[in-house]
Structure 1
Amino acid sequence: MPILGEAATTAEQTVALVEQTAREALLRQADGNGLVEPEFEVSAVRTSRALPACPAAAPVAVGVLDARQATRMRLVATCPGDAGWKYEFVVRARVTARVAVMAADVASGKPVDAADVALERRDISLVSDTVSDLALLEGMSARRSLRSGELLRQNMLTAQLLVKRGEAVRIVARNEQIEVSMAGEALDPGARGALIRVRNNNGNVIKARVTGAGTVEPADLPVSIQSPR
């Protein structure tokens, strides 16, 4: 939906309204991405074509055409009426926020903990997958070697394997106040929440969900587990 502004009778007022609209769009994106203390520097780029005034009785409406790239947003200002006009703007923005930066080296495949990072203000205008909520690091490991001072991005992380293929696991089935468990063997590797194949004590292969280090639960209950511990 277009965002209505007060009557913009001058080109300068229209530009200010365009920049305000772009800033509001960026703020909504930042809130949706969970950014911490975001700040914006916004500048509308005008072409050589003169921007006429809009009559006081017809306030300018500004809409966002494309806000996928902060460094090149596209907005349109429209002056309604018979003598109206439509003018497209390119808006360039610089976005900074407090995001996770590596505070220690972490080797590839090793867990990345909250103690390994710090929140620092960085320019993220060209980065869309930063980490602001350190709770997202739970159960994650480094996809590659990470160096101190490096901006942490979500694509640098991968779910940590809690079960390895061929290792012994504990199969735990819970039903209200009843808990039954038995030993098994993982036939697939898996991170938390992953569905893997497990061979139980009876030699049956079942689908199970990884719940912790070396622990799984049957994916489809009820499951016959005959040797409670």
Structure 2
Amino acid sequence: MSIKNVHGRWWAGAACAGLLWGPLALSAAPLSAPAQRVEAAARQWLAEQATVKGLVAPQFELSLVERGGTAPAAACAQAVAVEAVETRYLSRMRFAATCPGSAGWQREWIVRADVSALVVVAAAPVQANRAMAEADLAQERRTLVDMADALPSIDAAVGQASTRALRSGQVVSPRWLVQPLLLKRGDSVSIVARNGLIEVQVPGEALEPGRRDQVVRVRNTGTGKVIRARVIEAGVVEPESMGQQSMGDQSRD
């Protein structure tokens, strides 16, 4: 048997994918041979995607529904090809099995996948826009609607901030993670300018919020001049031109 996806890549050995990626889900009735091959192909596709996403200890439970007639497919004299037709939603994927040749046939199945894995969750309520520490996070098994919408590693969230408040036990989505706010509008800042071993610091006021490496408007409180400055850390900025100069020096080196 050979298996391909919609991009034309051929997969081999999918018939044993169920043995490699966990037990098959229990069915109300034994699956037909084409359905077994579809299930094996779906499991292999899920396993490959879980590896790409870095999921920890993924588990899959599948259910199949054949589209169209229920008459059993005729025996195929050649290798049956299984194609992933639509895999956007785990709850409703479409796979097709094709028996090639003039007397061949094609059948299509809806495959519904329940995917779970160990993912990062909030160990306690977390405020929005606050840098998260390791103690704020835990790893628990959750069922996933989208394999890309979960973090497999606590390290990936430590030091980051969530743009929305998190409930205890809530899955931490990578879509919500940003660098924490280091400046708020109106904060007092030190404007630091360096040239070799010489460093000059002058007081300033942040005119807009900023995260690490963002460029924001800052007022020099001594001269009243407004400049664009890059956020270095909480309460510290450097003139944007200094960062550009440093990059230029590195390129010359």
**What TM-score, normalized by structure 1, do the two folds share?**
0.78
> 1:79-126: per-residue Cα shift (whole Å, max 9, x none)?
211112222211111111001122222234443322112111121146
Structure 2: how far apart are the matches of 1:103 and 1:77?
44
Verify the 8 A CA contact 2:41 2:82 in the aligned structure 1: yes
- Structure 1 residues 206 and 125, CA, compared in 2 at 3 Å: closer, same or farther? same
Question: Could you say which residue in structure 1 is the equivalent of 2:134?
Answer: 114
Question: Could you say which residue in structure 1 is the equivalent of 2:233?
Answer: 212
> 1:173-207: per-residue Cα shift (whole Å, max 9, x none)?
667x6574533432211112322122346654333
Segment drifting more, 199-208 vs 120-129: 199-208
Question: Could you say which residue in structure 1 is the equivalent of 2:114?
Answer: 94
- Structure 1 residues 103 and 88, CA, compared in 2 at 3 Å: closer, same or farther? same
Verify the 8 A CA contact 1:2 1:62 in the aligned structure 2: no
The AA in structure 1 aligned to 2:55 is: L
Question: Could you say which residue in structure 2 is the equivalent of 1:151?
Answer: 171
Q: Please provide the CA RMSD for this pair.
A: 3.1
Question: Could you say which residue in structure 1 is the equivalent of 2:206?
Answer: 186
Offset at 1:143? 3.7
Question: Could you say which residue in structure 2 is the equivalent of 1:83?
Answer: 103
Question: Could you say which residue in structure 1 is the equivalent of 2:18?
Answer: none
- For structure 1, the 5+ residue unaligned runs are 224-229
The AA in structure 2 aligned to 1:137 is: A
Q: Within 5 A, what are the aligned runs for 1:167-206?
A: 167-172=187-192, 180-183=199-202, 184-200=204-220, 203-206=224-227
Runs of 4+ in 1 over 6 A off after TM superposition: none
Q: Which has the higher helix share?
A: 2
- Structure 1 residues 67 and 217, CA, compared in 2 at 3 Å: closer, same or farther? farther
Structure 1: how far apart are the matches of 2:50 and 2:154?
16
Structure 2: how far apart are the matches of 1:4 and 1:78?
15
Match of 1:69 among 59, 64, 89: 89
- For structure 2, the 5+ residue unaligned runs are 1-7, 16-30, 247-253
Aligned residue pair count:
219
Verify the 8 A CA contact 1:5 1:61 in the aligned structure 2: no
The AA in structure 1 aligned to 2:245 is: P
- Structure 1 residues 88 and 219, CA, compared in 2 at 3 Å: closer, same or farther? farther
Structure 2: how far apart are the matches of 1:65 and 1:172?
57
Structure 2: how far apart are the matches of 1:142 and 1:222?
33
Verify the 8 A CA contact 1:5 1:17 in the aligned structure 2: no
Structure 2: how far apart are the matches of 1:5 and 1:137?
37
- Structure 1 residues 88 and 129, CA, compared in 2 at 3 Å: closer, same or farther? same
The AA in structure 2 aligned to 1:124 is: L
**What TM-score, normalized by structure 2, do the two folds share?**
0.72
